[in-house]
Structure 1
């Protein structure tokens, strides 16, 4: 096997290894992805196109690498600021999404799917974030506690999720970028045998993800 073929095989092997490792935490995804893409692109370009090929390959590789990850730092900070003091939490997820967890204390009254005034500023910020970042989509998931029938809770949680989607749509976010899902009492995060636990379980979760991540299953927590 000649040296040129060996070089090609080496670059392809490195490319696979590097691209496979691009899914780091969101804060560094874009930098890592872009840097890796540029390096791999330059290597491939040098093999197949000489010096000019290396430059072109680096640029193309950087663009492709940037798609692998998404830099959530600015968005995370903005949403954290908007939810400060509300009890809502903004967390990065293993699947590459950003989750906004909104407790029942600011979102919906008992047995209601009308959005409370205290919830609106948070949703306004989410809507602004989506408008300013057209590459993002949002999945809204509603939950209840275990009190009442399964059917009632499923309907209530779906209506609550849909209320959020309708609100975001009214703020200018296209319906195609929004989905609503009611999960009823599924996936509790606290003990349904206590008042405090039930209050935690009555929540709305909004998952923001880059378009390239669309279709991935959210990591319910």
Structure 2
């Protein structure tokens, strides 16, 4: 078999193994993710562009690896401590984001978008986390139950999400790293015909996403 073909097959096999390594839980150390991404990118670049292609591929791969290997576990642990006893659920999402699902018993009173005192410790920890992780951004999404008119619920959900963004902004988070969205009652997670279900649907979700390699500010 042609030596060049063998070399390319070897690199493909190596790249596949390295990519498999990238598919571990996001608790993986960032440095490992970056290194694996760089190696994978370099290998693929070498196939298509020789030495120059390897250098370019390594740069691209490092960026991908830096996000894939982002150490969410440390952030998860910090947030878990601050949200203990609040009913907040913290889950890792398929797209690589970390979601905080905060129930209505903690966030806002009925028909109000004024942040409750019980919500402040959770938001304080989110603000601290963002301050310590400049490559992370936050998307805040407000939800209501189906009680009331859809237009009213939509406006209320937007105002609640914006209240959270305003709170984080006044606690040191740059506005360009924050976004607010209201979904009204359009995305229920439980049955709106029961009080227990409506309580689950009245919620605030905060998504944390890495947009750059650690140490780099998001563009």
Number of positions where the alignment pairs a residue of Structure 1 with one of Structure 2 = 208
The match for 2:87 is: 87
Q: CA–CA distance in 2 between the matches of 1:113 and 1:44?
A: 51
Q: TM-score with structure 2 length normalisation?
A: 0.82
Q: 1:30·1:70 contact (CA, 8 Å) conserved in 2? A: yes
Q: Pick which of 37-46 and 99-108 moved more.
A: 37-46
Q: CA–CA distance in 2 between the matches of 1:24 and 1:149?
A: 44
Per-residue deviation at 1:71?
1.4
Per-residue deviation at 1:41?
6.0
Q: 1:25·1:96 contact (CA, 8 Å) conserved in 2? A: no
Q: CA–CA distance in 1 between the matches of 2:99 and 2:46?
A: 41
Q: CA–CA distance in 1 between the matches of 2:181 and 2:37?
A: 36
The match for 2:132 is: 132
Per-residue deviation at 1:68?
2.9
The match for 1:155 is: 155
Q: Pick which of 180-189 and 26-35 moved more.
A: 26-35
1:78-117 mapped onto 2 (5 Å cutoff): 78-117=78-117
Per-residue deviation at 1:9?
4.9
Q: CA–CA distance in 1 between the matches of 2:29 and 2:143?
A: 30
Per-residue deviation at 1:2?
3.8
Per-residue deviation at 1:21?
6.6
1:208 counterpart = 2:217: no
Per-residue deviation at 1:27?
1.7
Q: 2:68·2:96 contact (CA, 8 Å) conserved in 1? A: no
Q: Structure 1, residues 145-175: CA drift from partner, whole Å, max 9, x if none?
A: 0000110000000000000000000001011
- Gap runs ≥5 in structure 2: 214-219
Q: TM-score with structure 1 length normalisation?
A: 0.81
Q: 2:111·2:156 contact (CA, 8 Å) conserved in 1? A: yes
Q: CA–CA distance in 1 between the matches of 2:46 and 2:139?
A: 42
Q: CA–CA distance in 2 between the matches of 1:105 and 1:158?
A: 18
- Gap runs ≥5 in structure 1: 214-221
Two-structure CA RMSD over aligned residues (Å): 3.0
